[in-house]
């Protein structure tokens, strides 16, 4: 069912984490986390707030420095202190929960900033690609608007376009629907579904269990900074082995979120 199985040539994982440990002050946020993300697959990180999902994503993008363990991107160890961190981040796209669009720039400038300044793409070329992506995500008329004139759903889709504009190898989505009104969640998730169909490799932290079950090839349940359970969506949601996973899912079901 996942594309990686049908394309064995590029089966080497895009992202690999081994025994990653991260502490903030005295508290351990990630302990001994292992993760493998195959090309063209979607990995969903689920778990309660504070279980370490967001931190895991920030570590993968080197926005946080890990205490121990190692992370590889396309076989290169990116946690090696000699590695150029800016070059690593250039290959990874991130979409944040709070969108983090640049309020002083138009939508178009938000999107073309990195292609032009980081990747040396000409303005014309960058804008052409940006407009094309905006069109595809149903934001055709918004290129010259400022972010604060858009709805939350539109802002988040712009943030996705901004992350995609540099053709990243890997896309990290950090609770991208958590700040949205319920009726706007659908339009953003639709975009993610479309990206999966195009073969984008993604890791997403999410509270949308229904969506995770739908779209994820691999589901990891984090609890207290540990990957307590991992497997296909059917395994984790249908037949969880750990008691804690079962309890977490039961709470979700009771809250009417699955």
Partner 1 sequence: MTVTKGESAREGADDKGDMTGGAGVSGDGYTPSERRLARERYTRTRARRATAVAALSTLVTAAVLYLVVVNAPGWPRTKETFFSAHYAREALPKVLEGLWLNVRLLLVCGAAVLVLGMLIAVARTLRGPVFFPLRVLAAAYTDFFRGLPLIINLMIVVLGVPALRLQGVTVDPVLLGGTALTLTYSAYVAEVFRAGIESVHPSQRAAARSLGLTNRQALRYVVLPQAVRRQVPPLLNDLVSLQKDTGLVSIGGAVDAVRAADIIVGRSLNYTPYIVAGLVFVALTIPMTRFTDWVTARTDRRRAQGGTL
Q: How far is the CB of 114 from partner 1 (least distance, A)?
A: 4
Of the candidates 50, 44, 52, the residue with the CA atom closest to the CA atom of residue 208: 44
Task: Identify the residue among 1, 87, 253, 255 touching partner 1 (CB under 8 A).
Answer: 87
Query: Contact 202/249 with Cβ under 8 angstroms?
Result: no
Query: Contact 225/69 with Cβ under 8 angstroms?
Result: no
Between 94 and 209, name the residue whose CB sits nearer to partner 1. 94
Q: Does 203 bind partner 1 (CB under 8 A)?
A: no
Q: Does 164 bind partner 1 (CB under 8 A)?
A: no
User: Please, which residues have CB within 8 angstroms of residue 28's CB and are 6 or more apart in sequence?
Assistant: 21, 22, 225
Q: How far is the CB of 44 from partner 1 (least distance, A)?
A: 20
Can you give the three-state secondary structure of 50-83, one letter per residue? CCCHHHHHHHHCCCCCCCEEEEEECCEECCCCCC
Task: Identify the residue among 15, 37, 101, 222 touching partner 1 (CB under 8 A).
Answer: 101
- H or E, element range at 200: none
Over the window 109 to 148, marking each residue x when it contacts partner 1 by CB under 8 A and - when it does not, the resulting string is: ----xx--xxx---------------------------xx
Between 63 and 258, name the residue whose CB sits nearer to partner 1. 63
State the number of binding residues for partner 1 (CB under 8 A): 27
Give how far the C-alpha of residue 214 lies from the chain's centroid of Cα atoms, to the nearest Å.
Answer: 16
Q: How far is the CB of 93 from partner 1 (least distance, A)?
A: 8
C-alpha to C-alpha distance for 218 and 122, rounded to whole angstroms:
38
Structure tokens at 28: 């351990």
Q: Does 96 bind partner 1 (CB under 8 A)?
A: yes
Q: Does 83 bind partner 1 (CB under 8 A)?
A: no
Between 139 and 236, name the residue whose CB sits nearer to partner 1. 139
Phi, psi angles (nearest 5°) of residue 140: -50, -40
C-alpha to C-alpha distance for 20 and 32, rounded to whole angstroms:
5
Between 51 and 61, name the residue whose CB sits nearer to partner 1. 61
Identify which range of 75-83, 86-94, 182-190, 231-239 contacts partner 1 by CB under 8 A: 86-94
Q: Does 92 bind partner 1 (CB under 8 A)?
A: yes
> Contacts with partner 1 in 44-63 (CB under 8 A)?
61, 63
Sign for the pseudo-dihedral over CA of 120, 123, 127, 129: negative
Give how far the C-alpha of residue 173 lies from the chain's centroid of Cα atoms, to the nearest Å.
Answer: 2
Structure tokens at 205: 């932290």
Between 85 and 232, name the residue whose CB sits nearer to partner 1. 85
Between 131 and 169, name the residue whose CB sits nearer to partner 1. 169
Chain residues that interact with partner 1, rule: CB under 8 A? 61, 63, 86-87, 89-94, 96, 98, 100-104, 113-114, 117-119, 147-148, 162-163, 166
């Amino acid at each position: 069912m996942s594309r990686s199985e049908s394309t064995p040539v590029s089966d080497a994982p895009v992202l690999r984490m081994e025994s990653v440990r991260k502490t903030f002050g005295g508290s351990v946020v990630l302990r001994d986390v292992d993760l493998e993300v195959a090309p063209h697959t979607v990995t969903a990180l689920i778990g309660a707030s504070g279980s370490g999902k967001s931190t895991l994503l920030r570590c993968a993008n080197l926005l946080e420095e890990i205490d121990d363990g190692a992370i590889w991107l396309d076989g290169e160890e990116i946690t090696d202190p000699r590695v150029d961190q800016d070059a690593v981040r250039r290959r990874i796209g991130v979409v944040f929960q709070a969108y983090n669009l640049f309020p002083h720039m138009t939508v178009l400038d938000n999107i073309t900033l990195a292609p032009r300044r980081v990747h040396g793409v000409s303005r014309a070329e960058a804008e052409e690609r940006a407009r094309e992506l905006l069109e595809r995500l149903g934001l055709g008329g918004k290129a010259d608007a400022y972010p604060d004139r858009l709805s939350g759903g539109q802002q988040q889709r712009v943030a996705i376009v901004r992350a995609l504009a540099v053709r990243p190898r890997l896309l990290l989505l950090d609770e991208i629907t958590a700040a949205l009104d319920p009726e706007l969640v659908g339009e953003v998730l639709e975009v993610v579904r479309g990206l999966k169909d195009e073969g984008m490799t993604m890791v997403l932290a999410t509270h949308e269990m229904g969506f995770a079950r739908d779209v994820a090839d691999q589901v990891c349940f984090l609890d207290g900074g540990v990957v307590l359970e991992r497997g296909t969506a059917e395994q984790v949601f249908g037949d969880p082995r750990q008691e804690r996973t079962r309890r977490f899912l039961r709470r979700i079901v009771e809250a009417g979120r699955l």
